[in-house]
Amino acid sequence: MELLQTLLATLVALGVLVTIHEWGHYWVARRCGVKVLRFSVGFGKPLWMRTAADGTEYAVAAIPLGGYVRMLDEREGDVPESLRDQAFNNKPVLQRIAIVAAGPIVNLVFAVVAYWFLFMSGISVVVPVVGGITQNSPAAQAGVESGYEILEVDGHKVRSWSEVNLRLAARVGETGNIELLMGEARRGYAHSYQVAINEWQVDLERQSPLAALGLEPWRPDFPAVIGQLLPDGAAARDGLQVGDRVVAANGEPIEDWLHLVSLIRKSPEQTLQLTVERGGEQVTLTLTPARRTLDGGQVQGYVGAGVAEVEIPAAMQRTLSYGPVEALSNGFHKTGQMIGLTLDSIGKMIAGVISVKNLSGPITIAKVAGTSAASGLESFISFLAYLSISLGVLNLLPIPMLDGGHLLYYVVELVRGRPVSEQVQMLGLRIGMALLFSLMALAIINDIARLF
């Protein structure tokens, strides 16, 4: 069932974003008088096709990892004299620029609309109150105290952990001070901390910027109650059931879920005598955690069990909701912030500040799509907005094969007054193909590495 949900979420996400991207090219091409031969969502053999009265073919193809709009073009075949004025290559350079840029721009506009909708309907967030400070971390060395809300990061107001992480992510690889304003807004108390960083390195694949700085979010107390079980896990095998509350292990009282997890991790393939409360009675069970080896050779025990959900107190939650105009303004601001962060991350990856291990491919996209869909409509729309921004920004990069590569050629043509030679375009195409296929291969390798 989970696999089916992941597949459906991925197909919906890619289908929506590819369709609006190609629709951008299609709509502007039609406005510019270019004859569109085919509008296809997906590559490969068409699974469905319909031909409209104007001769345009609309298709859904077998490989849902992209799409294309095929336009009449003399460079791709003979064009009848009567249709030459409808060929893409015969249009003025400004119109060609508009047609090529329309796809990525529509992706960015979609993100603005998605964020506008979320801000209009209201986004539920957890108040960014610090629950703990990691020893010897940058935050600990700066004297940051737990129990207070983060009000600002580097002078920018933040109202959720997501906003805190985004502000911190923008400082990865930098040297200087991260300014945190913390306190209790209702009581008017605030204190500024200067957290020193020096070429701040964060393994974004394994930890968030928040954790790397040494800040632990406040969390409610989680009693040691079983909320979910893997059917092939040690916990299910040894008789634990959903709803069981573990009160003791080997005669030692279990304080909370984290205490139980710590004990299990320290006990790979060791027998634990558990006392659990079940239906008002106490039951004794024998549990033997399985053994697994982590990166670096560390050995841990695990049992394939998850904690039961605990309701977060109303005081620790807030809803970010705005009127239509303010929501639209916030939608533009959020989209701009994500565009800036994406470009900043690409630049830092090229400079070697951020590891290329952070590149993600279709497997990771599918996993995130499934997880966000399972978390609800708000989470899924937010994921669509972020993925649409990534698609728009990446397509605008000046790399041959991408929209940005074509835009580069047309801008050069606009400046020089004549097209870039076919020899140069073919060379650029080969370079672009090599670069894109290399990046794609690296992203897929990273995806596979994460699975194991």
- Whichever domain contains 290, its CATH number is 2.30.42.10
Provide the pLDDT for residue 311: 81
Q: Are residues 333 and 423 in the same domain?
A: yes
Provide the pLDDT for residue 105: 96
**CA 214 to each of CA 15, 181, 295: distance values in angstroms, whole numbers, following the listed order:** 39, 16, 21
Say which residue the tokens 């992510």 belong to.
169
- Evaluate whether residue 246 is within a structural domain: yes
- Evaluate whether residue 5 is within a structural domain: no
Q: Which residues of the chain have pLDDT under 50?
A: none
Provide the pLDDT for residue 144: 92
Q: Are residues 284 and 432 in the same domain?
A: no
- Evaluate whether residue 41 is within a structural domain: no
- Evaluate whether residue 327 is within a structural domain: yes
Closest by Cα among 209, 135, 140 to 173: 209
The rounded distance, in Å, linking the Cα atoms of 345 and 172 is 9
Q: Are residues 338 and 452 in the same domain?
A: yes
Phi first, then psi: give them for residue 134, nearest 5 degrees: -70, 135
Instruction: Give catalytic residue positions.
Output: 22
Domain boundary among the residues 282, 310, 338 is at: 310
> Number of structural domains, the chain?
3
Q: Are residues 412 and 288 in the same domain?
A: no
The rounded distance, in Å, linking the Cα atoms of 448 and 445 is 5
Say which residue the tokens 């500024």 belong to.
192
What is this structure's pTM? 0.79
Provide the pLDDT for residue 441: 84
| Domain of 149, in residue numbers | 124-220+311-320
- Report which DSSP code applies to 294: -
Q: Are residues 330 and 421 in the same domain?
A: yes
Q: Are residues 128 and 157 in the same domain?
A: yes
Instruction: Give the up-direction half-sphere exposure of residue 8: CA atoms within 13 A in the CB hemisphere.
Output: 7
Q: Are residues 237 and 275 in the same domain?
A: yes
- Evaluate whether residue 56 is within a structural domain: no
Provide the pLDDT for residue 451: 66
| Burial (CB count within 10 angstroms: exposed 0-12, middle 13-18, buried 19+), residue 119 | buried
Q: Are residues 331 and 374 in the same domain?
A: yes
Cβ contacts of 96 within 8 Å, gap of 6 or more: 88, 406, 410
Six-digit token string for 126: 């957890």
Q: Are residues 101 and 131 in the same domain?
A: no
Domain boundary among the residues 320, 347, 374 is at: 320
Q: Are residues 268 and 366 in the same domain?
A: no
Provide the pairing of β-strand 281-287 with 272-278: antiparallel
Provide the pLDDT for residue 48: 92
Q: Are residues 251 and 135 in the same domain?
A: no
Domain boundary among the residues 310, 341, 365 is at: 310
- Evaluate whether residue 205 is within a structural domain: yes
- Evaluate whether residue 423 is within a structural domain: yes
Which residues is 214 bridged to in the sheet? none
Provide the pLDDT for residue 339: 94
Cβ contacts of 350 within 8 Å, gap of 6 or more: none
Q: Are residues 452 and 342 in the same domain?
A: yes
- Evaluate whether residue 6 is within a structural domain: no
